Structure 1
Amino acid sequence: MVSARRSFQGSLPIAAMPRLCGVLAESAGLAQYELDFGRDEYGTAYVDVRVQAPLWLVCQRTLEPFVMPVTVDSRLGLIRSEREESALPAGCEPLLVAEDDKLGLIDVIEDELLLALPLVPVNPDSELPEEVTRPPAEDVPAQVRSDNPFAVLRELKKN
């Protein structure tokens, strides 16, 4: 595929990616993908991965499901051993290829979508529930200032 500079494009059901479905609120929708194989000016084999997918996540602010559009655009350098990783150009992530030179394209797409997920998904349109929000600062009575916590240490040092 690299020598022939092959390109693939299409759509893939999100439900066909079990590891991704394990972290989603719902497995509905299609991932649109484009994969372009080739070699760069240094002779490094690569695959350009572009994926767009609407993913159902659970907002960690409201605990409600929401759709987050995820876009992936990355270049993966195809390597056969971990020693080859240091030779990859900047901006090229390593992708270890099996000895039989076979590459599961669905696995590559799924891996890239998993890496694109936020650590803590938050719906940008969400607001904190009213019972969680604090009253404005002027409504909070001023607290009496406590003694300096180091005063006790000062007294101990004198003894």
Structure 2
Amino acid sequence: MVSARRSFQGALPIAAMPRLCEALADDAGVASYELDFGRDEYGTAYVDVRVQAPLWLICQRTLEPFVMPVTVDSRLGLIRSEREESALPGGVEPLLVAEDAKLNPIDVIEDELLLALPLVPVNPDSELPEEVIRPPEEAVSAGERPDNPFAVLRELKKT
């Protein structure tokens, strides 16, 4: 595929990627992808991966599901041993290829989507709950100050 500079494009159901589904709230939707194989000016084999997918995540602010559109655009340098990683040009991520030189495109797409997931998903359209924004009425009013636990130490220091 590298020598022939092959390109593939299509749509892949998100439900077909089990490792990704474990991190999602729902496996609905379809990922659109493009894979372009080739060699760069240094002779390094690569695959350009472009994926767009609507992923269902759980907002960690509201604990409600929301759809986050994810876009991946990366170049992966195809290497056969970890020693070859240092020879990759800047901006190219390594992808270790098996000895038989076979590559499963679904695994590559799934890996790239997993890497694109945020550590703490937050719906940008969500708002903080009212009880977080405004403290309850029983809370200390501005004129009152709670007992300072260090007040005793302050008194000891004066003597």
Q: Give TM-score scaled by structure 1 length.
A: 0.89
Tell me: CA distance 1:70–1:149, structure 2 relative to 1, closer, same or farther (3 Å). farther
Shift in Å, 1:128: 1.3
- Give, in angstroms, the shift of residue 152 of structure 1: 7.0
Partner residue, 1:12: 12
2:104 corresponds to = 104
> Which residues in structure 2 correspond to 1:63-102 (within 5 Å)?
63-102=63-102
Q: Name the structure 1 match of 2:142.
A: 141
Aligned to 2:52: 52
Alpha-carbon offset, residue 12 of structure 1: 0.1
The structure-2 alpha-carbon separation of the partners of 1:154 and 1:12, relative to structure 1 and needing over 3 Å to count, comes to same
- Amino acid aligned to 1:141: A
Shift of 1:151: 4.1
Structure 1 unaligned blocks of 5 or more: none
Look up the SS of the partner of 2:50 in the other structure. strand
Shift of 1:140: 4.0
SS in 2 for 1:132: helix
Give, in angstroms, the shift of residue 145 of structure 1.
Answer: 8.0
Change in Cα spacing, 1:74 to 1:153, as seen in structure 2 (3 Å) is: farther
Corresponding letter in the other structure for 1:81: S
1:2 maps to amino acid: V
**Residues 53, 148 of structure 1: alpha-carbon distance in 2 compared, 3 angstrom cutoff:** same
| Aligned twin of 1:38 | 38
Structure 2 partner of 1:129: 129
Aligned CA distance change for structure 1 residues 62 and 144 (closer, same or farther; 3 Å): closer
Instruction: Name the CA distance, whole Å, in 2 between partners of 1:60 and 1:48.
Output: 32
Query: 1:23 — aligned with what?
Result: 23
Deviates more, 1:63-72 or 1:122-131: 122-131
Percent of residue pairs bearing the same amino acid type: 80
Structure 2 unmatched ranges of 5 or more? none
Distance in 2, Cα, partners of 1:5 & 1:14: 27
Q: CA, structure 1 residues 129+93, in 2 after alignment: closer, same or farther (shift >3 Å)?
A: same
Counting matched residue pairs gives 154
Structural RMSD (CA): 2.2
Partner of residue 117, structure 1:
117
Q: Distance in 2 between matches of 1:40 and 1:107?
A: 23
Instruction: Give 3-state SS (helix, strand or coil) of 2:110's partner.
Output: helix
Q: Report the residue type matching 2:91 in the other structure.
A: G
Give the Cα–Cα distance (whole angstroms) in 1 for the partners of residues 104 and 22 of structure 2.
19
Per-residue deviation at 1:148? 6.5
Letter in 1 for 2:99: E
